[in-house]
Amino acid sequence: MSEPPVIELDGVYTSFRGHPVHRDLALRVDEGQIVGLLGGSGSGKTTLLREILGLHRPDAGMVRLFGVDLNEPDVQLQRNLRRRLGMLFQHGALFSALSVFDNIAFPLRELRCLDGDWIRRLVHLKLAMVGLGEGHGKLMPAELSGGMVKRVALARALALEPELLLLDEPTAGLDPDRSQNFVELIGDLQRELGLTVIMVTHDLNTLAGLATHVAVLADHHIIAYGTRAEIMTIDHPFVTGFFGADRRKLL
């Protein structure tokens, strides 16, 4: 047994005000996988990501990242763990008081190891990766369009070169061209760096172009997890409803 799985959830229970969201949820993601997380609106996908990040503590159950339990009390260990992951929030969550440039530079400056020139180059590199120019760096988050917010947020999530990338609806609000660019970018990064990616998405093209594995969240837990081909064969109302006539497209 060599590497622990990147993400391991087991027996996770979550409820909000008595309403269950997750019930006995289990998921295991290995290094290098790109997992598409599917589920109906309000099925608890964002909540699941928040639990993986340690932003929300489940009522019961275990969450392990890189083999480290999130309930481990060692602060330094937890902090180093957080540096290994990047998150793209559903609504961007950019720092509204900082410019685009400073938003992306912020996590890099927090390391207190890189000099100014290095940070500037990295920020411009990330901006270029998501298809934004140098001029966009001076804008404030309130001056961005919805899709640009997504792209800046992605650039910020990539700033620390994370090993695990969590993406909450990364292509919602992007035009098809940009979505395609995004798929290629993440695909390239994955090949170059061996990233592990979990992404919530409702977009079949993104899913078909990127995901190596698919996890389906329905009925409060992961009803199916496997490669795209395996998921196709599942006979569950959500899966058949989601893919509908497009079943073949995913293959």
Which residues of this chain interact with ligand ATP, rule CB under 6 A?
A: 16, 21, 39, 41-47, 90
139 in contact with other proteins (CB under 8 A)? no
Do 86 and 138 form a contact (C-beta atoms < 8 A)? no
Do 35 and 211 form a contact (C-beta atoms < 8 A)? yes
39's contact among ligand ATP, other proteins, Mg ion, none, with CB below 5 to 8 A by partner kind, is ligand ATP
Separation between Cα atoms, residue 234 and residue 241, nearest integer Å: 11
81 in contact with other proteins (CB under 8 A)? no
121 in contact with other proteins (CB under 8 A)? yes
Which residue, chain included where needed, has tokens 């140098």? 134
For residues 60 and 111, which CB has a smaller minimum distance to other proteins in the complex?
Answer: 111
Scan residues 49-108 and list those touching Mg ion (CB under 5 A): 90
For residues 194 and 244, which CB has a smaller minimum distance to other proteins in the complex?
Answer: 194
Angle at 143 between CA 139 and CA 149, to 5 degrees: 85
Which residue, chain included where needed, has tokens 């979990």? 198
CB of 106 to ligand ATP, least distance (A): 25
46 in contact with Mg ion (CB under 5 A)? yes
CB of 109 to Mg ion, least distance (A): 29
For residues 71 and 96, which CB has a smaller minimum distance to other proteins in the complex?
Answer: 96
77 in contact with other proteins (CB under 8 A)? no
Among 157, 139, 141, which Cα is nearest to 149's?
141
177 in contact with other proteins (CB under 8 A)? no
Handedness of CA 251, 175, 46, 194 (dihedral sign): positive
Among 244, 240, 211, which Cα is nearest to 225's?
211
